[in-house]
Amino acid sequence: MRIAITRGVSPRIERCELTHLERETINVNLANEQHNQYEECLTELGCEVRSLPAEPDLPDSVFVEDTAIVVEELAVITRPGAESRRPEVSGIAEVLGEYRRLVYIVEPGTIDGGDVLVLDHDVYIGQSGRTNEEGVRQVRAMLTPLGYTVIGLPVKACLHLKSAVGRVAPDTLLINRQWVNSTVFGGMKFIDVDPAEPGAAGALLIRDTVIYPARFERTRERLDRAGIKNVVVNLSELAKAEAGVTCSSIVFEK
């Protein structure tokens, strides 16, 4: 059984942190509708969705992915790079504690879960504006004794590593090679995003199906041609807050 932890959309999401986008008006009612459809998609793909109530005072709190890194043996509770987001972790830690032993990133380390791509026992961590070298070092110290290899790598021109690369099959990554160096990913195969859609690499693989943003039609055609099974979700309102399809859930085996 796969668990998917989600959280409702904060009514103050318009005050979210932004790095690469200009601030736009976010329709909160529509954002809620789209988020509900996202949760329904997770359920249809076999996940048990643990939907937590919205946090009105935490604008970014719907983006639960950034608060934790979950592997089979434990859950790493992060210390997000944006100070305003650090109060988000306590509620997620309380829930994750039902399923995993918890360990914590501590000051001066910072890390966002959106910078972490787990490919079996290889853990890639983007060193971005939100994740620093000390955060990577702490994760390496936690996971190496468990048999994981932790690789830090730079990302550029995007918020998180998962903005630049996403897993779409056990041996295949969807990637924007302008934002991340593909050579670090060993023997993986690659599908390049369409040049007109530089932000299209974010994808959420659930078993054999990819949840994918509806707005990236050209790159989705590339997935189709490669035989990658996918379902689309419209997250246009959350995208105004620099969100992709991985941001709003933490998915792991029970």
Residues taking part in catalysis = 160, 247
Sheet strands (E) in 94-226:
101-104, 116-119, 122-127, 149-154, 165-169, 172-175, 189-192, 204-206, 209-213
Residues 102 and 94: their CA atoms lie apart, in Å, by 10
Report whether 145 contacts 152 (CB < 8 A). no
Residues 17 and 8: their CA atoms lie apart, in Å, by 17
Residues 142 and 128: their CA atoms lie apart, in Å, by 20
DSSP 183: G
Q: Radius of gyration of the chain from Cα atoms?
A: 17
